[in-house]
Structure 1
Amino acid sequence: MENSNSKNSLIRDIKFRHLMMIAFGGAIGTGLFVGTGGNIHQAGPLGTLIAYAVGGIIIYSIMLSLGELASYFPNTGSFGDYAYRFIGPATGYVIFWLYWIGWVISAGVEYIAIGFLMQYWFPQIPVYWWVVACASIVFLLNSFSVKIFAEGEFVLSLIKTIAVILFLTIGFIGICYHFYLNGFSGIFENFYFQQGGFFPNGFSAVLGTILVVIFAFSGTEIIGVAVGETKNPREVMPKAIKATLVRLIVFFLGSVFIISVFLPMNDSTITQSPFVSVLERIQLPFLHNGIPYAASIMNFIIITALISTANSGLYGASRMIYGLAEKKMYFSIFSKLNKRGTPIYALYLSMIFSLIALFTTIFAPEVVIEALISVIGFTLIIVWISVSISQYIFRKRYIAQGNSIKDLPYKTPFSPITQIVGILGCSVGAIGAFFDSHQRIGILASIVYIILCYLIYFLTKDKFKHLK
């Protein structure tokens, strides 16, 4: 555990309100605001709702397991540290690198999404200029103290949280008015198709969508990293989990339902936010042509949301590199902190790799983004599975040593059923996605990456003299 009084340790300056908003900030981003359109286009409205419900169950079970581990071992290494302790050093090493690559790619995807959204106002300015601008903002927020990062994330997350609440409110009013005008059948006219019924692309498309939905929920777990720089972690971690999980699932399922009601499947794309499309066409009492300027306002809010997610992503990635170096699994320079307590060299490395997003503007952006999202989703699945396994092994060892479950700061309910649900859910998502030709290349690339990480571990473990 990091000691906040040590000059060589991370400073515990994150408060409960920060931690809760960091969980929102990591999750409410491209996956919800942009990726939902692509999910509906692939799986259909009902299929997407099912995929998000399954994704919600999976993330709920993972977070319950994470709560027990992070409350007892509140350190920045988080998932990598837990896998290192309870599964094995080699797997811990791989989990560190998996979570790192997932977040640097995620930050890059956020940059690209912002570039597309900025074209709504400035179609003549190339996407890559906005990528550079966004990356610069995110780097500045992370390069100062963790308190500056946390305050910035709090404000950005609060904006998008309020925006989603307003969207849900407007959508509910719109659905009521739609029911008044067109009756019950009018609300669900986008859900059933003459060819294919409720699942126009087959139920296999729903299974393939689960991996993309996992990407949408990704970021909630980043509080397991942030807890290492949080005041009173054993008290605030359980509170943060309880406060965020149900709200997030309601936000996601509610938003998908509203979008499905007002946006036909064939009008949904991955390059335009369905939130903007809905607000442009929703009918409300006295506002039959949509809400004036709502699309521009929503576009701005979504951009701040994506900056927030990229901000969380760069934070999480830099802390993984720091955790590796701290355990002597990587070059010691990356464990060095600047005078404000930021692992600046780990931040530099993560920033450089997140800028790989610039190269996607040269190729077909839609194809590249889909492949990158599948990489993020698959790597996160492995990380989540490791959390469930680590918690199960920890609980067994804890009891075997004569300790009482009652003494844990936070107890995962329904153990081991909770862990089984998490592992099976993640596995189903990965298998389903493998049969989707668009996502298969990302999964195969991730598997190659995992094999390389294991090989590098065994080749370098004597060089770095890993801590035991």
Structure 2
Amino acid sequence: MRISSKESGSIVSHLPDDTQDSIEVSGMGHVTTLEDIEQAPREFGRADAQKSVALQRTLKPRHVSMIALGGTIGTGLFVGISSPLANAGPVGALIAYMIMGTIVYCVTQSLGEMATFIPVASSFTVFTHRFLSPALGAATGYIYAFSWCVTFAFELSVIGQIIQYWTKAVPLAAYIAIFWVPLIVSNLFPVKYYGEFQFWIAIVKVIAIVGFIIYAFCMVCGAGVTGPVGFRYWRHPGPWGKGIISGNENVARFLGWVSSLINAAFTYQGTELVGISAGESANPRKSVPKAINKVVFRILLFYIGSLLFVGLLVPYDDPKLVSTSSFISSSPFVIAIQNSGTKVLPDIFNAVILITIVSAANSNVYVGSRVLLGLSVSGLAPAWLGVLTAQGVPYVCVATVSLFGSLAFLAVSSAAKTFGWLLNIISIAGFFAWLSISVAHLRFIAALKHRKMSREELPFKAKYMPWAAYYAACSITLIILIQGFTAFAPAFDVSEFFAAYISVLLFIVIWACFQIKTRCPLAYRSCDIDIDTDRNGIDGSEKHCEGEPRAEETDEDIPRSRIRGRWMAFWAALV
């Protein structure tokens, strides 16, 4: 999930006032200790000065699928859809999410084709570095890594706020400390434990959403205290929201819809996480395509399906949708349940949201550490960031990301405004990631064409390319440019303008610094693009995947009975 610059203000307002299949990632020998790294010296910032790290390929297909699902279902879904519903109304919000869903589909298709061909840690930042330029790779990687560091602090502060929904006997700072330490420690274990944790949490999310859809269908048909709801709220107050400004009604509604489109884009951020896990997947050329191909189904079921029923049960003018009393009180899922008169379910759903955010915080550390690792491997960050434990855990990167969790304490101090500005800085980092994926894929296709390689030979062929990549790249560029439009309407606001576009400025500064330092080309020519490094080693290590399954997959991933087979088939279709 990502938080827009506009939303960060409301977030701060919620805060209290007193407040071993190992892989060669870069083509050289395995480096697992500091001594090994010192024996493989390289120059900081040079693209050709790369080292290798030994990551454990222990994530099973179900882990990769659930990590991708976990990136899709999070706080953005459970809470973030309240603003689009309030601004654009139920129909306007549905259209906005459908349009953004097509962009997300195109981005994940591009990522899937590259990540299965060259499955490395921190995939798309590495692809940007290799297929575009080291400077662009550095700018994308640092912005993206920093965004997860700050988001980790944000999630920690939200965890405490959710618990305070039940009791405020314990200070918010205490909850932050209580959850901070276990989340750090959990990421120091081998990656298979992270995959297992995310797997079971994702199942809880799926059960919660499917259960809500069934519950909502019953309420719409008349099972609640309000009787049959049907399309009552689509008739009054209506299918379209009133917009975000006063004045001309049509202009206000259009701007409200544009606002919901941008909010939808923020909500969808995290779908690219499947690419991060490719470097630690036991069989990325089978598990990653499976996860990618389920994106459309997940968008239709979890986002469009949920939003449809939320829009049927909650009128867009419900004051609780824009409530600033607490972060959790504006969840349209909770509001829908409360409006239907059910007493116990709101507490249960709040518990699900709490579990979801703990899972999200855990993912923040994982993703941020792998992106930093990718920067180190590519020669764009210091070598010491790439030091690993014997189990293949980049503990220095984990520690670096975890330290940013201390920023959560700013949320309960007089520095809450500072915390809000940090959220503004990272608000559109995910858009840069999406843009880099789409443009890098276009350059990847150009490199294949230069070598006269057919895309039919690839382990996974993205659909509707290259036009889908052009569509995604142009759409994302437009979103980056217009996402701060509220700074111009109804009157120009300098502070809001700076908050909305500071990420763009920071991206340009990082790019310029690395461009000057490395003196690399502005963009690689097709003939100079490296699509060989890391590919051959993977090809060799996965030959047996075409025949017998891996030993570690035999016991767990192959059904041993009809019942288990049907159960696994059900979950495979669902998630």
TM-score above 0.5: yes
Contact 1:43/1:199 (<8 A) preserved: no
Aligned pairs (5 A) from 1:47-62: 47-62=92-107
Q: SS at 2:168's partner residue?
A: coil
Shift of 1:45: 3.0
Q: SS at 1:42's partner residue?
A: helix
Residue of structure 1 aligned with 2:505, choices 426, 443, 448: 448
Q: SS at 1:10's partner residue?
A: strand
Task: Give the structure 1 partner of residue 210 of structure 2.
Answer: 165
Shift of 1:135: 2.5
Q: SS at 2:483's partner residue?
A: helix
Task: Give the structure 2 partner of residue 286 of structure 1.
Answer: none
Q: SS at 2:102's partner residue?
A: helix
1:404 to 2:454 alignment: yes
Distance 1:194 1:329 in 2: 46
Task: Give the structure 1 partner of residue 364 of structure 2.
Answer: 313
Distance 1:357 1:153 in 2: 23
Residue of structure 2 aligned with 1:78, choices 95, 115, 123: 123
Contact 1:45/1:190 (<8 A) preserved: no
Contact 2:81/2:307 (<8 A) preserved: yes
1:276 to 2:334 alignment: yes
1:108 to 2:153 alignment: yes
Residue by residue, what CA displacement relative to the aligned partner does 1:189-238 show, whole Å, maximum 9, x if unpaired? 34347966997943113223333322211111111010100011112111
Task: Give the structure 2 partner of residue 429 of structure 1.
Answer: 479
Residue by residue, what CA displacement relative to the aligned partner does 1:173-196 show, whole Å, maximum 9, x if unpaired? 211227973564455434347966
Distance 1:128 1:183 in 2: 44
Task: Give the structure 2 partner of residue 30 of structure 1.
Answer: 75
Q: SS at 1:107's partner residue?
A: helix
Contact 2:373/2:397 (<8 A) preserved: yes
Contact 1:71/1:234 (<8 A) preserved: yes
Q: Which amino acid aligns with 2:356?
A: A
Matched residues, percent identical? 27
Select between 450-459 and 358-367 the one with higher mean Cα deviation.
358-367
Shift of 1:281: 1.9
Structure 2 runs not aligned, ≥5 long: 1-21, 33-52, 488-494, 520-529, 531-575
Distance 1:162 1:311 in 2: 20
Structure 1 residues 455 and 395, CA gap change in structure 2 (3 angstroms): closer
Q: Which amino acid aligns with 2:363?
A: S
Task: Give the structure 2 partner of residue 139 of structure 1.
Answer: 184
1:361 to 2:409 alignment: no
Q: SS at 1:91's partner residue?
A: helix
Select between 73-82 and 438-447 the one with higher mean Cα deviation.
438-447
Select between 25-34 and 432-441 the one with higher mean Cα deviation.
432-441
**Number of residues paired by the alignment?**
455
Residue of structure 2 aligned with 1:2, choices 23, 44, 52: 23
Task: Give the structure 2 partner of residue 420 of structure 1.
Answer: 470
Aligned pairs (5 A) from 1:308-347: 308-347=359-398
Residue of structure 2 aligned with 1:46, choices 75, 91, 112: 91
Contact 2:424/2:502 (<8 A) preserved: no
Q: Which amino acid aligns with 2:443?
A: I
Contact 2:387/2:394 (<8 A) preserved: yes
Shift of 1:425: 2.2
Structure 1 residues 195 and 103, CA gap change in structure 2 (3 angstroms): closer
Distance 1:82 1:219 in 2: 18
Structure 1 residues 200 and 256, CA gap change in structure 2 (3 angstroms): farther
Shift of 1:295: 0.9
Contact 2:241/2:256 (<8 A) preserved: no
Distance 1:160 1:258 in 2: 17
Select between 84-93 and 36-45 the one with higher mean Cα deviation.
36-45
> TM-score, length-normalised on structure 2?
0.73
Q: SS at 1:14's partner residue?
A: coil
Structure 1 runs not aligned, ≥5 long: 283-288, 463-467
1:154 to 2:154 alignment: no
Q: Which amino acid aligns with 1:387?
A: I
Residue by residue, what CA displacement relative to the aligned partner does 1:253-312 show, whole Å, maximum 9, x if unpaired? 222222222223332036222222221222xxxxxx22x311111111111111111211
Task: Give the structure 2 partner of residue 19 of structure 1.
Answer: 64
Structure with the larger helix share: 1
Task: Give the structure 2 partner of residue 93 of structure 1.
Answer: 138
Aligned pairs (5 A) from 1:228-247: 228-247=279-298
Q: In angstroms, what is the RMSD of aligned CA positions?
A: 2.8
